[in-house]
Structure 1
Amino acid sequence: MIGSSELIINNDKSIFHLHLKPEHIADHVLLVGDPARVQLIASHFSNIEYKIQNREFVSTTGTYQNTRITVISTGIGTDNIDIVINELDALVNIDLETREVKAEKRSLNIIRIGTSGALQKNLPVNSYVLSRKAIGFDGLLNFYANRELISDLDFERNFINHTAWNSLLGKPYVVDSSPRLYDRFQGDHFTEGVTISAPGFYGPQGRILRLETADPLLNEKVECFFYNDLQITNYEMECSAIYGLSALLGHEALTVCLIIANRTTKEANENYYPAMEKLIKLVLDKLST
């Protein structure tokens, strides 16, 4: 039995942060950072079952072309992903009445639709990256047991050696996307990527305003790193935790990102909404076929 301090249930029987109940969760779950993007996605649904909000966590479940889909906004960062993935899993794999783990587990398809900054010149603004692997600079997965069982340890060793990784920083971890979801989504619209999830927008991604970074050459090292035929393509702030926690808990996970800035060419597109609309439609169509 899981104690009430570990699994907090609200008075209305919903889970603590998300304010959701088990019946609210579809098999397909779309995660977005921006709460406003939930409504953008839901505008494509033929019907809406519910909309629930608590803090930055806005959730809607509805139907797109006969496919039931849940959309949840996570806010920014892997700390929020820790909340969202653990609470989603609890909703489908823990009996909230008895506080016991269910014998039969349910696996969700968890797909993040996000924005990102490119690290390679061949990734123009408004292109789409399908993250085959995620590198976590955030350190979150290192707090969980057995993380080495779902990590690409050889990739990690090569990356740490190549960058002469600063031991004062959290140890990077590398996790694959769901092979099943990756195969389902790959195609002409998407560029294969290796995505870094950073624990911040400025220093952790090499941006300098008034504070210098611990390793001013880190982005240069990242850009020229190769592992087999793979090259690091982009920065964002959530993918690694989604991949790692989903793999440990038995869920399928994938991230697709719209490139809204290129760090090497110094280009950016603040008006990226039409390209995001197109990406949303691509994802919804992939899930409904």
Structure 2
Amino acid sequence: MNPVHILARKGEVADKVLVVGDPGRAELLSSLLDSPKLVNRNRGFLVYTGFYNNTEISIATHGIGGPSMAIVFEELHMLGGSTFVRLGTVGALRQDIRLGEYIIPTGASYNLGGLFFQYLGELTSVSATPDLELTSRLISHFESLSYKYHLGNVFSSDAFYAEDEHFVKKWSSRGNIGVEMECATLFFLSKLKGARSSAVLVVSDNLSTGGNWISKEDLEKSVLNGAKSILTVLSKLKQ
């Protein structure tokens, strides 16, 4: 089967891929690569391939939500991607987690049904956890730079505006420290397809303290620092 949304050719997508939700963010981060080449713009799923520390790496847009992530992951995997790190934003569910800090997920909760049911054909679950070695390397690099990060489970929600006054208590009481929309899909599909994946999430808001949002300038600073760290880890990772 050939990709129908990512119209790059085989060989134009690197085996190591940094994935982000926002095409504007993909465009921004492409400036960190040497000799970046835009290999897909179809459907707004911008994909750039270039070099970081002499290692070929792609930066790709996955859009918003699990179904969009699933389509992009599947097609990037068809084109040769085998190691994926998501750089995105997350709403914190714990009061001590501050805006601009990072969450490195150790797992992702999700609701049964939806795309998971379509892949599995039954109401069962597959552990949505990241690759241990890749995640360990990310943690070590963030530690070496003294970046403030938090380890824990996140909840991957399918509905951005479905939160109510019980949302924080419900999901934090189940061991989740943040909420976002794509990690469970990425980790789940990576297991099914034999790929490696992990994630680094910038805390953009904190639902447990009233939902204040990070400034655009502080968000961009944390995103750029996180991206450089991910690219460094990917460039040193053996396939």
Q: TM-score, normalised by structure 1?
A: 0.73
Partner of 1:133: 107
SS class of match (2:208): coil
**Residue 214 (structure 2) pairs with residue 269 (structure 1):** yes
1-side partners of 2:30 and 2:116: how far apart? 31
Larger radius of gyration: 1
TM-aligned CA deviation for residue 138 of structure 1: 6.9
The 5 A counterparts of 1:67-146 are 67-92=55-80, 108-137=82-111, 139=113, 140-145=115-120
Partner of 2:33: 45
SS class of match (2:71): helix
1-side partners of 2:93 and 2:226: how far apart? 20
Instruction: Specify whether residues 244 and 52 from structure 1 end up closer, same or farther in structure 2 by C-alpha distance, changes over 3 A only.
Output: same
TM-aligned CA deviation for residue 53 of structure 1: 0.2
Instruction: Specify whether residues 138 and 261 from structure 1 end up closer, same or farther in structure 2 by C-alpha distance, changes over 3 A only.
Output: farther
Partner of 2:135: 182
1-side partners of 2:66 and 2:102: how far apart? 21
More moved, 76-85 vs 132-141: 132-141
CA contact (8 A) 2:137 2:233 kept: yes
Q: How many residues align?
A: 226
2-side partners of 1:150 and 1:25: how far apart? 30
Instruction: Specify whether residues 116 and 237 from structure 1 end up closer, same or farther in structure 2 by C-alpha distance, changes over 3 A only.
Output: same
TM-aligned CA deviation for residue 237 of structure 1: 0.8
CA contact (8 A) 1:150 1:244 kept: no
Partner of 2:234: 287
Q: Percent sequence identity over matched residues?
A: 27
2-side partners of 1:244 and 1:135: how far apart? 10
SS class of match (1:87): helix
The 5 A counterparts of 1:47-66 are 47-66=35-54
Partner of 1:255: 199
The AA in structure 1 aligned to 2:35 is N
SS class of match (2:11): helix
SS class of match (1:55): helix
Partner of 1:172: none
SS class of match (1:258): strand
Q: TM-score, normalised by structure 2?
A: 0.87
What do you get for the CA RMSD once the two structures are aligned? 2.1
The AA in structure 2 aligned to 1:264 is S
More moved, 16-25 vs 245-254: 16-25
TM-aligned CA deviation for residue 37 of structure 1: 1.1
